[in-house]
Amino acid sequence: MITRELLREVEIFKGLSDEQIEKLLPLARAETFRKGDAIFRERDPASKIYIVLSGVVEVGRTMRPEGRFLRLARLERGQMLGELALFDDAPRSSGAVAALVPETRVGSWEIQALHALFEQDPALANRVLRSLVKRLAHRLRATAEGLMALLKAFDGSRE
């Protein structure tokens, strides 16, 4: 079950009022996946965002041609995935798989339902989207730093 207390653990919902949290709860659905099940696949239409309720989710890309799954992130309780779907209509850029434990539970929200809620409550939309943008900016900076480290290591190996 998705509760107010659980949503308060999720970074992008931490600053919301009780009233705003109450607007999000009825739109949420709990879903259960067994270890190895795909929550979504690369290039799937992006119609939902998710938070991990219990268990572990691995996010990654399938390497071609061998088809090996390359893990980019491991997510646990309270962490969000699929949030780029709030910003564009592009297909999923990576896949997400239930991992490590026999059962993983996630909470999900349909993007269309969230957009409708955000239209009705611009203050809620502003708080959630600002939190998401901060999170994405942090992730982008970390990615740039990692890329620079790789480039320096590659450049150093050529000397």
Domains of the chain: 4-157 (2.60.120.10)
- Residue pointed to by tokens 């592009």: 90
- Using 50, 70 and 90 to split pLDDT, how confident is the model at 152? confident
Tens of pLDDT along 127-139? 998 988 888 888 8
CA distance 103 to 84: 25
Give pLDDT, residue 66. 78
- What is the reported pTM? 0.83
Cβ-count burial 36-75 (b if 16+ within 10 Å, e if not): eeebbeeeeebebbbbbbebbbbbbeeeeeeeebeeeeeb
Give pLDDT, residue 156. 67
Q: What is the mean pLDDT of residues 1-5?
A: 84
pLDDT at 157 over 80: no
Tens of pLDDT along 95-115? 999 999 999 999 999 999 999
Among the listed residues 38, 21, 136, 41, the one whose alpha carbon sits nearest the alpha carbon of residue 87: 136
Tens of pLDDT along 39-69? 999 899 899 999 999 999 999 888 877 778 7
- Using 50, 70 and 90 to split pLDDT, how confident is the model at 116? very high
Give pLDDT, residue 159. 56
